[in-house]
Amino acid sequence: MRFIVMNVMKKEIKYMVLKKLGIIGLLLCTTVLSFAQTSDVKNYYNPLSTGVPSLLISPDARAGGMGDVGVATSPDINSQHWNPAKYAFAESVAGASLSYTPWLRKIVKDIDLVYLSGYYKFLGPQAVSMSLRYFSLGEISLTDNEGNPMGTGKPNEFSIDVAYSRQLSKHFSMAVAMRYIYSNLSAEDENYYPGHAFGADIAMYAHIPLMIPTGESLLGVGLNISNISTKISYDKGETPGIFLPANMRLGIAYTVPFDAYNKLSMSFDINKLLVPAYPQMSNYVDSTGVLDNDAYETAKKKYNRSSVAGIFYSFADAYDNPKNTTAKDGFMEELREINWSAGLEYSYNNQFFVRTGYSNESKWKGNRKYFTFGAGFKFTAFQLDVGYVLALAQTSPLDQTLRFGLSFDVDGLRDLVDMAERRKK
């Protein structure tokens, strides 16, 4: 959000509802702390901020009902976002899904995320997949510095990607994805342009069946390094570009059958943004209030490195924070950047699903902590899913977020056609 505010100030144009955009950016990068009055915030509160943070929003209702886990869960049609390597183990030959999330409805009424995904398997262990993500920030009214109307704007972001996955062994697969990203946050400003970027994902998935007394259980292990990308710029490169949300997600899932009809899946993910923290000026001010400008400028130069170098630097940037006086302080700061999520999914006859989960983020990195609940129903070819967020903080804009998803698979459609033909005979 920093880059939006700076650019608006520079061009002497303000949005009548800049508060809306501010809330969106702050929420996606960090949630306002309810304990911001404590003295520790000045020393430790240092959230990570990126461009196009909507790329990190969980798009589908299944994962959204399980605490936002998905890198190692059983393959489904929305695996493109979580781990495209899972498609190589998909049961159906092809499928497609449409998901819809009315975002931040506790604050505004016109912000939406639409996600379309699909895949096709060929030659047995291979699959191609794609997804389209569209994030609308709604309509905003524009004014100049004197409050005169300047029309309306409709900022939005979207991305489109394709992936190829393949089984490399009976129980292991890998995938690569390529992504185009477009972000248009400008409005009636000839010096402010839409941003464009390109990214890639590298994903791995292990799919291991294990026999237990009640039947065949399934162990899944997944890793997805996503949004390895160019930086994005809104002024055609006049200023250093902004890091996109490169991200590493590692997870494990285990599905246990109770009998022929009932089973329970347990999943756990850890997640880390692979971007360095922007140097905070307050970290370079001594006890007398004097800014060490040389050290601060050096820190900003180290921050403004290439996106790939930034991925590696993200594992060590905390050690350059002058507030971290020991190696232990730096290590603890790096640990705070790791989020974790846990989820459960109960299924009956692979037709009825009940889900719950929990997602946790350090209070110094955003304090997003919430429970999720979800349900699903599958009828032959079609599946309907819904997810719901219950935030722990009463003031959290994420509270009461709903997600909806509708998907179908080709094998199910074939079964429906076969059933219709048999009835005719």
Domains parsed from the chain with CATH numbers: 2-277+337-424 (2.40.160.40)
The three-state secondary structure class of 272 is strand
Report the DSSP pairing between strands 247-257 and 94-102: unpaired
pLDDT of amino acid 158: 94
Q: Residue 181 in contact with residue 199, Cβ under 8 Å?
A: yes
- Residue 378 has which token pair? 């599958």
User: Torsions phi, psi of 331, nearest 5?
Assistant: -65, -45
Residue where the block lists tokens 């004014």: 143
C-alpha distances in Å from residue 328, one per residue of 15, 43, 365: 43, 15, 18
Which DSSP state fits 258?
S
Instruction: Specify the DSSP class assigned to residue 139.
Output: -
**Helices 2-11, 18-29: inter-axial angle, 10-degree rounding:** 150
For residues 213 and 259, give the distance between their C-alpha atoms in angstroms, rounded to a whole number. 10
Interstrand relation of 112-122 and 382-391 (parallel, antiparallel or unpaired): unpaired
pLDDT value, residue 278: 87
Place of tokens 């890639």: 200
pLDDT for 292 equals: 83
DSSP state of 84: G
pLDDT at position 143: 65
The alpha carbon dihedral of 64, 67, 71, 73 has a sign of negative
Residue with tokens 């890091």: 243
Full strand arrangement of the beta sheet holding 149-153: 14-15, 140-143, 149-153
pTM comes to 0.86
How is residue 61 written in tokens? 């209702």
Long-range CB pairs of 185-189 (<8 Å, 24+ gap) are 185/4, 185/21, 185/137, 185/155, 185/157, 185/234, 186/153, 186/155, 186/234, 187/15, 187/140, 187/142, 187/151, 187/152, 187/153, 187/155, 188/13, 188/142, 188/150, 188/151, 188/153, 189/11, 189/13
pLDDT averaged per 10 residues, the chain (length 425): 36 37 44 42 71 92 96 96 96 95 83 95 93 89 67 85 97 97 75 87 96 95 96 83 95 96 97 91 81 85 89 89 81 91 96 96 89 94 94 78 93 73 71
pLDDT score of 144? 61
